[in-house]
Chains A and B, each alone.
Chain A
Amino acid sequence: MSELLDRRAVRLDETAADKEEAIRLCGAALVEIGAAEAGYVDTMVAREKSVSTYVGEGVAIPHGTLDGKALVKRDALAVLRFPAGVDWDGEQVTVCVGIAAAGDGHVELLAALAEILLDEDQARSLREATDVDTVIGLLSSVQEEASE
């Protein structure tokens, strides 16, 4: 968990003028924690242009393309919160979960995220979280339940 979701990559008070800037901020966080090469960020922007990564409940999960996998150094996630929201093709996104993955290390965590988003109360808690421990706790607690 700690390796996959580095607390340095959980940033809860970000601002972005548009979708691309939000994606680039997620990418930059993944690069800063050593999860991906700088070039990975461009593949995240490219991926978004083919199909939106908006998944519902004010959450988007930007990630790279198949080619971008070569630029991933280790599986990791970044959680960025944009309290003022970001326009995502007409949807309002508050939370971006940036993904760098070459393998399947992050699958459990995405499964946990899906569970959170299918539960209105938990989805709201994620959107409204203002401290890093709340976000990490939310994602790890569901993960434990899911593995029962």
Chain B
Amino acid sequence: MATINGKDIRKLVVACDAGMGSSVMLASTLRKQLGKSGVTVEHSPVNSIPADADLVVCHSGLAARARSVAPSKPIVPFQVFLGDPAVTKVVKAIQQGTDLNV
């Protein structure tokens, strides 16, 4: 298990299959929550995760695909699109500049 500090996350990517639905919704919520932190939040299809992403969040059902596409990136899987505790932890780590285990 690796650790990343919230301060080192400059670009957060929400990945899903088509980048059309649920990832869009989660990205918009995160953008609002993290607006003040200066973090860029993008949504993307899991097959084309941007190279400069510092952290990737995606549904647990897609985590294996995300890992094969971006093996070097820290990936946080979640189960629920709104209010998932794993995502809440990411937001806290970024806002407070604390360590996050991924």
Contact = CB atoms under 8 A, between A and B. Distances in A.
Contacts of A47: 17-18
A61 B25 contact: yes
Interface residues of A, number: 29
A6 to B, nearest CB: 18
Contact of B61 (A50, A55, A114): A50
A68 interface: yes
Q: Is the interface of A mostly helix, strand, loop or mixed?
A: mixed
Nearest to B43: A107
Main secondary structure of the interface of B (DSSP, over half): mixed
A55 B17 contact: no
A69 interface: yes
B62 interface: yes
A17 interface: no
Interface residues on B, range: 20 to 34
Interface string B61-102: 110000000000000000011110000000000000000000
A107 B62 contact: no
Interface string A82-122: 00000000000000000101001011001101110110000
A66 B28 contact: no
Shortest Cβ-Cβ A-B pairs, 7 listed: A111-B28, A63-B21, A51-B61, A55-B81, A56-B82, A66-B18, A114-B25
6 contacts: A51-B59, A55-B81, A61-B25, A64-B18, A110-B24, A111-B28
Interface of A: 47, 50-51, 53-57, 61-66, 68-69, 99, 101, 104, 106-107, 110-111, 113-115, 117-118, 146
